[in-house]
Amino acid sequence: MPRPYILAELTWKTVRATRYDVAVLPWGATEAHNFHLPYGTDNIQAEDLAARAAERAWQRGAKVVVLPGVPFGVNTGQLDIPLCINMNPSTQALLLRDVAMSLAGQGIGKLVIFNGHGANDFRQMIRELQPQVSLFLCTVNWYKVVDPKPFFTDLGDHAGELETSVMQHVAPDLVLPLSEAGSGAARKFKIAAFREGWAWAPRNWRQVTDDTGSGNPAAATAEKGKRYVEAVTGKIADFLIELARSDTSKLYEDQ
Ligand SMILES: [Zn+2]
């Protein structure tokens, strides 16, 4: 059965009879994820969690539709790793503009960019694009919606316990046994300011990690992934419902 909130599964017969309030655009990356997770990890997670959140919102009456995801992220620090595919921020901005302008011309009022890759950053793109389009633009990084600390013991940021647990829950057939995984050991910057995070420079991934992971996946379980995914998608579903109902010209508290 086609899911009524997944555009790729819908026909024109359904679409022409439905008024959608919110479009959700999953956006991931194509990159190595240690030895045990697939290159499509960020795309699989973004599309799957967007669908779960949209399902929960749809069941409560919100007219939400998830668009096909964009599979390429900013990966300028991994260009020397075979088949990591980089899409530059300036290219992403043009792609986003075309998608947003298509939807705006069709009367869709709101677009949520559902991001699943740490090096993608849509905020500046939205600042630049928003004055040019009539639909409301916003972005969510799904891995920042719920504090992961109560769920996981090792908080790495790439192919670690969090991502591995989520994948064990949503796509278990694509996860190799954890005995195949590297330790995800990541080298820190020597310069204190970068280490402390108040000065920033992109990391060269090959020099940071030997197995392409950053964070130890050893303690990952599907059960942890399930609990975290349920918390994240529940919170995003509430947001989608609230956004669908909102008049985006009146977003602020009354005086
Ligand atoms: Zn990832």
**In angstroms, what is the span from residue 33 Cα to ligand 1's centroid?**
6
Reported as a single tens digit per residue, the pLDDT across 27-38 is 999 999 999 999
**In angstroms, what is the span from residue 230 Cα to ligand 1's centroid?**
18
Tell me if 182 sits within 8 A of 44, measured CB to CB. no
**In angstroms, what is the span from residue 149 Cα to ligand 1's centroid?**
18
At residue 155 the predicted structure's pLDDT band, cuts being 50, 70 and 90, is: confident
**In angstroms, what is the span from residue 214 Cα to ligand 1's centroid?**
10
Radius of gyration (C-alpha) of the chain in whole angstroms: 19
Q: What is the mean pLDDT of the chain?
A: 96
**In angstroms, what is the span from residue 35 Cα to ligand 1's centroid?**
13
**In angstroms, what is the span from residue 177 Cα to ligand 1's centroid?**
17
pLDDT at 157: 87
Dihedral of CA atoms 246, 67, 172, 208 in degrees, nearest 10, equals -90
- Residues above pLDDT 70, as percent of the chain: 100
Tell me if 164 sits within 8 A of 220, measured CB to CB. yes
pLDDT at 28: 98
**In angstroms, what is the span from residue 30 Cα to ligand 1's centroid?**
9
- Average pLDDT of span 142-149: 97
Reported as a single tens digit per residue, the pLDDT across 165-208 is 999 999 999 999 999 999 999 999 999 999 999 999 999 998 99
Tell me if 240 sits within 8 A of 62, measured CB to CB. yes
pLDDT at 85: 98
**CA-CA distance, 132 to 24, in Å (whole number)?**
19
Reported as a single tens digit per residue, the pLDDT across 2-13 is 999 999 999 999
pLDDT at 221: 97
- Average pLDDT of span 226-250: 97
**In angstroms, what is the span from residue 247 Cα to ligand 1's centroid?**
34
Reported as a single tens digit per residue, the pLDDT across 63-115 is 999 999 999 999 999 999 999 999 999 999 999 999 999 999 998 999 999 99
pLDDT at position 53 over 80: yes
**In angstroms, what is the span from residue 28 Cα to ligand 1's centroid?**
8
216's CB contacts (< 8 A; 6+ apart) are 154, 156, 160, 161, 183, 184, 185
At residue 132 the predicted structure's pLDDT band, cuts being 50, 70 and 90, is: very high
What is the three-state SS of the chain?
Answer: CCCCCEHHHCCHHHHHCCCCCEEEEEECCECCECCCECCCHHHHHHHHHHHHHHHHHHHCCCCEEECCCECCECCHHHCCCCCCEECCHHHHHHHHHHHHHHHHHCCCCEEEEEECCCCCCCHHHHHHHHHHCCCEEEEEEHHHCCCCCCCCCCCCCECCHHHHHHHHHHCHHHCCCHHHCCCCCECCCCCHHHHHCCCCCCCCHHHHECCCCECCCCCCCHHHHHHHHHHHHHHHHHHHHHHHHCCCCCCCCCC
The values of phi and psi at residue 26, to 5°, are -70, 140
- Average pLDDT of span 203-231: 95
pLDDT at 156: 84
**In angstroms, what is the span from residue 83 Cα to ligand 1's centroid?**
15
pLDDT at position 125 over 90: yes
pLDDT at 130: 98
**In angstroms, what is the span from residue 100 Cα to ligand 1's centroid?**
25
**In angstroms, what is the span from residue 20 Cα to ligand 1's centroid?**
30
**In angstroms, what is the span from residue 59 Cα to ligand 1's centroid?**
29
- Residues above pLDDT 90, as percent of the chain: 96
pLDDT at 255: 75
**In angstroms, what is the span from residue 43 Cα to ligand 1's centroid?**
8
> pTM of the predicted model, to two decimals?
0.96
**In angstroms, what is the span from residue 17 Cα to ligand 1's centroid?**
37
pLDDT at 170: 98
pLDDT at 107: 87
